[in-house]
Structure 1
Amino acid sequence: MKTRTVSKLGAILAASALVLSACGASNSGGGSGGSTEAASSGGKDWSQCSPGSESKDVAGTEDSDKNVTLGIFNGWDESYATVYLLKNVLEQDGYTVKTQELDAGPMFTGVAQGDIDFFTDGWLPLTHASYIEQFGDDLVPQGCWYDNAKLTIAVNNDSPAKTIEDLKTMGDDYNNTLYGIEAGAGLTKTTKEKAIPEYGLDNIDFKISSTPAMLAQLKKSTEAKENVAVTLWRPHWAYDAFPIRDLEDPKGAMGDAEKIYNFSSKDAAESKPYVSQLLKNLVLDDKKLASLENLMFSEDNFAGKDHAKAVEQWLKDNPDFVDQWKKGELAK
């Protein structure tokens, strides 16, 4: 079985070159955008999902095979966060858990072919719509766990602007500067081509640089109690690490919020009902997810160097989480 998996993963990587990429290897800046027609990719309206809506107590549910492979999207913080949460719980329950880090194309291909059992980071209805069109018949959705995945422009909590449009008249308060991330990110494109022209922000110097540079500026400014405006996205640990808030976007220039879904292979859906139900029970709101990611990824904490220990510490800080998760009570 191990030889078969390795050989087929090689085929997956080769095949992925032919797959149209909905987004890059990192979720720096969220999805690629798209039209609302993608809401019904694969014949399903993916915008209609409430996290935890399929919840129920897992007591009495058992998997005969306690070997499971979980997929992680390379560079996607929430993917590591949710997979390592699941890994922690499953290993406590006696499972042998393997993780596989892949980009989006190989991941969807691998799960569709049955070489990876589950992944937790399907952004819909837009970001991963092309993969659903291609592989949806061979995937089983296992509920959505988060419903506020979106592109944002954020400012420090105590600054004056309330909406993106306020930057037009309050630019001086922010040194007439908006700090951005990588030039190729979907967030950068949306800000440059949608938000800035739609809100008439000709007075603003949009500094395109990198995600680390943006976060460094955010840290510097908030620690100095200076006003700052940055392009950001949810989910992100910065919302827990720094005193910041989103500017309202009345024109919808940054796009609508997406849902994040779990998916499994057809075989895993049938052979692993316990894991499937745990995923259907999973619900993380902005506060919980940001605090977990902050612990895992910020330089002031584990800095992405020991996911297992970070999750272990977070669960100690949230002692009721696993019990509520297993009982299907996280959505309440």
Structure 2
Amino acid sequence: MNAVKYLSRIALGAATAFAMTATAVTSDVAAQEPGEGKSIEMARATWDTGWFQAEIYKQLFEELGYEVGQVRTLDNPPFYQAVGQGDIDLWVNGWFPLHDTYRDAFEEGASIVGFVAEGGALQGYLVDKKSAEEYGITSIEDFKKPEIKEAFDANGDGKADLVACPPGWGCEEKISKDLDELELRDHINPIKAGYSASMADALGRYRQGDPILFYTWTPNWTVGILQPGEDVVWIEMPNATEDTTVAGVEGCVNDPCALGWQANDIRPVANNDFLNENPAIRAVLEEARIPLDDIFAQNAKMNEGEDSPEDIQRHASEWIANNQDLVDGWLEAGRQAAM
């Protein structure tokens, strides 16, 4: 073999080896998930009806290779401050426009991205149907009447008891505003203890035949157990506007129903720097949706006793498996965005 042919074969072999190595490296990179080697600091809300959604997204992020540690349970004010500052990366429990009051805390450093559930998240005040019919209750202002106030006074302080919201929740501020605007402070006592415990107490009184007045939102187990139109009715607010009046609300005293609360979207909120560094996460947040009926169904399971962390993890895993084709599309969108 002459020297020229020998050197040519060496060059060809080197080129082939280089190409094989490059192909192997490319394959390894392609096989790597966009979250490999990255972690997410994730939060969830203090209301347990939002934990199912948070767990679904957590598992989606893990499918993309991200490490998601212990999800932190936070009240609204500390979360929105932390996500704006970059101390927390995201949560999927934003309620808008209810949480608009926190925009000043987060908008410079974080953004609302996508929808967990778009529209249909209702809020308002309800009373048991029996009392509504007996006393002719159609409005929150009816609680200024002495006989109604006395009937709903469970602790003997001379005021009707209202299951309200704990301090730090967006609804707490709205309820306080309603009581002040409508001059109801002398007539209604807002119970601000833990919501689940307060509602469990109200449910116990209802089952004993006593009147109950409570605030709630949907999706929530409360309107799964106490069916609007059958067990309870939505009552109206005299200060309702066009934006807070909703048509077709099942179990309302009127249609359209002057709830006095806007229908909300449930939306993720994430830190801007985190989103810029993780386009896969942004894509998933923009694509994913969870039907309200599925959230209702899971919340009912929790109320029936399936409320341990392991139960919620299983509920989320089962939901993902039952919607695998849809979920695979979201994950593929995330992978494509990271390329």
Secondary structure, in 3 states, of the residue corresponding to 1:137? coil
Residue 316 of structure 1: which of 312, 315, 318 is its match?
318
CA shift digits 1:45-82 (9 cap, x unpaired): xxxxxxxxxxxxxxx9x952243414224523354332
* Structure 1 contact 150–233 (Cα < 8 Å) conserved: yes
C-alpha separation in 1, matches of 2:34 and 2:206: 51
2: CA distance between counterparts of 1:182 and 1:191?
Answer: 8
Identity across the alignment (%): 17
Match of 1:247 in 2: 235
Counterpart residue number, 1:4: none
Q: How does 1:113-124 map to 2 (within 5 A)?
A: 113-124=85-96
Query: AA paired with 2:107?
Result: G
CA–CA separation in structure 2 for the residues paired with 1:281 and 1:71: 19
Distance in 1 (CA, whole Å) between partners of 2:98 and 2:145 is 33
Residues 188, 266 of structure 1: alpha-carbon distance in 2 compared, 3 angstrom cutoff: closer
Structure 2 counterpart of 1:127 = 99
Cross-structure match for 2:151 = 175
Query: Are residues 1:140 and 2:123 paired?
Result: no
> What is the aligned partner in structure 2 of residue 34 from structure 1?
none
Instruction: Provide the secondary structure at the position in 2 that maps to 1:219.
Output: helix
Question: Could you tell me which amino acid in structure 2 is paired with residue 80 of structure 1?
Answer: W
Aligned residues: 263
Alignment partner of 2:127 out of 144, 152, 155: 155
Superimposed CA distance per residue, residues 180-207 of structure 1 (whole angstroms, 9 cap, x where no aligned partner): 34685765665465258739797x6546
- In structure 2, the gaps of 5 or more residues are 1-29, 153-159, 241-258, 331-339
Counterpart residue type for residue 296 of structure 2: A
TM-score by length of 2: 0.58
Q: Which has the higher helix share?
A: 2
Query: CA RMSD of the aligned region, Å?
Result: 4.3
The verdict on how the C-alpha distance between 1:254 and 1:190 changes in structure 2, with shifts beyond 3 A counting, is: farther
Q: Which residue of 2 aligns with 1:275?
A: 281
Separation of aligned partners in 2, 1:85 and 1:108: 21
Report the CA distance shift for 1:231/1:140 in structure 2 as closer, same or farther (over 3 A): closer
CA contact (8 A) 1:72 1:79 kept: no
Could you report, residue by residue, the CA deviation over 1:222-281 in whole angstroms, capped at 9, with x for unpaired residues? 434655322334453322343345323353284434433212233432343333232223
* SS of equivalent residue, structure 2 residue 265: strand
User: Residue 228 of structure 1 is aligned with which of 201, 212, 215?
Assistant: 212
Q: Deviations over 1:146-168 (max 9, x none)?
A: 43556521234665355445666
5+ residue gaps, structure 1: 1-59
1:29-58 Cα deviation digits (max 9, x unpaired): xxxxxxxxxxxxxxxxxxxxxxxxxxxxxx
- Aligned CA distance change for structure 1 residues 266 and 248 (closer, same or farther; 3 Å): same
Write the distance in 2 (CA, Å) between the matches of 1:325 and 1:68.
21
Match of 1:216 in 2: 200
Letter in structure 2 aligned against 1:230: F
Distance 1:106 1:175, change over 3 A: closer
State the one-letter code of the partner of 2:314.
E
SS in 2 for 1:278: helix
Query: Deviation of residue 84 (structure 1)?
Result: 0.8
Secondary structure of 2:107's aligned partner: helix
- Does residue 238 in structure 1 map to residue 242 in structure 2? no
C-alpha distance in 2, partners of 1:225/1:322?
45
Structure 2 distance, partners of 1:227, 1:285, is 32
Does 1:65 find its partner at 2:35?
Answer: yes
